[in-house]
Amino acid sequence: MKAILSIVAALAVGTAAAVAQSVDEQVAERLAPPGELCMKGEACAAAAPAGGAAASGGNGARSGEQVYNSACQTCHAAGVAGAPKFGDAAAWSDRVAQGMDTLYSNAINGIRAMPAKGLCADCSDDEVKAAVDYMVENSK
Ligand code: HEC
């Protein structure tokens, strides 16, 4: 009887120890990598660039209104050098009649007194297109 009890006790202790160890291992496995990464600080910071995309123009592209205000209104607000004036439906309707793709490519590449990208060197093509949309939408 005593022998059986001690075997059972030994098994129980052994099983408990094994369970405890494997749980520890699992916990360690799950916690260690992120714990390590975040402890180091730099790695965590590098994984979450704050506002980087917006500043570089990547995913944080400027709106058509922002691009217009910074790059296009110089000429298009007053109609400098024959630029179709912002809000002037008559001036824009003939232009729009060429098709939006023509307007986009003329805005991006330039046409006559209209400089390429309206001289906005750091504007992406999509930002220039957004500015064209903004002017056209507000000139109907
Ligand atoms: C230096 C002055 C100037 C700036 C800055 C400027 N434009 Fe223009 N833009 C013009 C002039 C002048 C025309 C008329 C060109 C022509 O048809 O002879 C024009 C025409 C256009 C047209 C009509 C093109 C067509 O096919 O009829 C679009 C679209 C346009 N501009 C978009 C823009 C956008 C978008 C910006 C800002 C990113 C911008 N422009 C900045 C002067 C300017």
Residue 68: what pLDDT? 98
122 CA from centroid of ligand 1 (Å): 17
Residue 89: what pLDDT? 97
pTM of the model: 0.69
| Ligand 1 contacts CB of residue 112 (under 6 A) | yes
Number of the ligand 1 atom closest to the C-alpha atom of 132: 35
Residue 56: what pLDDT? 44
Residue 11: what pLDDT? 65
DSSP H helices in 41-140? 42-47, 52-56, 64-67, 73-76, 89-96, 100-109, 125-137
d(CA 18, CA 24): 10
Residue 24: what pLDDT? 73
Residues present in the chain in total: 140
pLDDT in tens, 68-85: 999 999 999 999 999 999
- Nearest of 115, 111, 107 to residue 136 by alpha carbon: 107
Residue 45: what pLDDT? 44
CB 73, CB 132: distance < 8 Å? no
118 CA from centroid of ligand 1 (Å): 6
38 CA from centroid of ligand 1 (Å): 50
Delimit the domains of the chain by residue range: 2-48, 61-137
What is the architecture of the domain spanning 61-137? Answer: Orthogonal Bundle (1.10)
Segments of the chain with pLDDT less than 50: 33-35, 37, 41-43, 45, 47-57
